[in-house]
Amino acid sequence: MDTQIRRFADCHMHTVLCGHAEHSIEEMVSTLEASSLVGGIVTEHLPLPDSVDCDRVVSMYPGELPSYVAALQVLRERSPLGENLVVGAEADWRDVDPQWTMRSVQDARAAGVEVVLGSVHLLGDWAFDDPNRIELWDAKDVDEVWDQYFTAWCCAASSGLFDVMSHPDLPKKFGHVPRDPRPYYEQAAQVAAESGVLCEVSTAGLRKPCAELYPAPLFLAELARRGVSFTLASDAHSKGEIGSQFEVAVKALATAGVTQQAFPKGNGEVDWLPL
CATH code, domain with 176? 3.20.20.140
What is the number of structural domains in the chain?
1
Mean pLDDT of 26-37: 97
pLDDT band with cut points at 50, 70 and 90 for residue 20: confident
pLDDT for position 2: 45
Mean pLDDT of 251-264: 98
pLDDT band with cut points at 50, 70 and 90 for residue 16: very high
pLDDT beyond 90 at 4? no
Least confident of 51-60, 69-78, 235-244, 260-269: 51-60
Mean pLDDT of 48-68: 77
pLDDT tens-digit profile of 126-145? 889 999 889 999 999 999 99
pLDDT for position 49: 77
Q: Which residues lie closer than 8 Å to 141 by C-beta, 6 or more apart? A: none
Q: Which residues lie closer than 8 Å to 71 by C-beta, 6 or more apart? A: 25, 26
pLDDT beyond 70 at 51? no
Mean pLDDT of 9-37: 95
Mean pLDDT of 168-194: 98
Mean pLDDT of 240-263: 97
Three-state SS letters, 44-71: EECCCCCCCECCCCCCCCCCCHHHHHHH
Q: Determine contact, residues 157/149, Cβ cutoff 8 Å.
A: no
Q: Compute the mean pLDDT over every residue in the chain, rounded to the nearest whole number.
A: 94
Model pTM score: 0.95
Q: Which residues lie closer than 8 Å to 262 by C-beta, 6 or more apart? A: 198, 229, 230, 231, 270, 271, 272, 273
Question: Which residues span the domain enclosing 140?
Answer: 3-274
pLDDT beyond 80 at 58? no
Rounded to an integer, what distance in angstroms lies between the CA atom of residue 149 and that of residue 128? 10
Q: Determine contact, residues 9/38, Cβ cutoff 8 Å.
A: yes
Mean pLDDT of 82-90: 98
